[in-house]
Amino acid sequence: MQCPLCVMNQNEIIWQDALCCVATGGDPGYPGYFRVVWGEHVAEMSDLDARARRHLMDVVLAVESSLRALMNPDKINLASLGNKVPHLHWHVIARFADDPHFPEAIWSSEQRRAPVRDRLDCAVLATRIGVELARNSAFC
């Protein structure tokens, strides 16, 4: 069975470099849901050397900062599970107090019907991620 993150749909990718990419989260109910996916097929953060771990986390934090600036969420959730797909990736999810699952994880049972939110313009987010990464001197 082929790893779905090793053969991602290029239409899902909004930003990438030589080591990782940022892709949509695939949940239309959460327009502020993105995944940061390591390019090489490894399962755990400890599979990476210190520089690669720092690079990956710089990208995760750039997505978080960008979502905060663009969406003003009540909370950002960061998750790295990999139980079903053991390919290193992080979920970065903008959360709102009135979203369907809040305060639970988005994978839990719905708590309420939620308002429809405008889809985040991925081109704007990709630009913002680039700006955030350029600010970070450790990212090179």
For 78-137, how does the pLDDT look when each residue is reduced to its tens digit (9 = 90+)?
Answer: 999 988 899 999 999 999 999 989 999 988 888 888 777 777 777 788 788 878 877 764
Show the tokens assigned to 44: 């755990």
C-alpha 66, offset from chain centre:
11
Evaluate whether residue 1 is within a structural domain: no
Residue 119 CB neighbour total at 10 angstroms: 10
Percent of the chain scoring above 90 in pLDDT? 52
CA distances from 106 to 4, 91, 93, 96, 118 (A): 21, 11, 9, 11, 18
Evaluate whether residue 2 is within a structural domain: no
CA dist 34 and 16 (Å) reads 13
Beta bridge partners of 38: 20
Q: What is the pLDDT of residues 16-55, one digit of tens each?
A: 999 999 999 888 788 899 999 999 999 999 999 999 999 9
Evaluate whether residue 123 is within a structural domain: yes
Q: Which amino acid, 3?
A: C
Evaluate whether residue 39 is within a structural domain: yes
Evaluate whether residue 5 is within a structural domain: no
Evaluate whether residue 76 is within a structural domain: yes
pLDDT of residue 80: 95
SS3 label, residue 98: coil
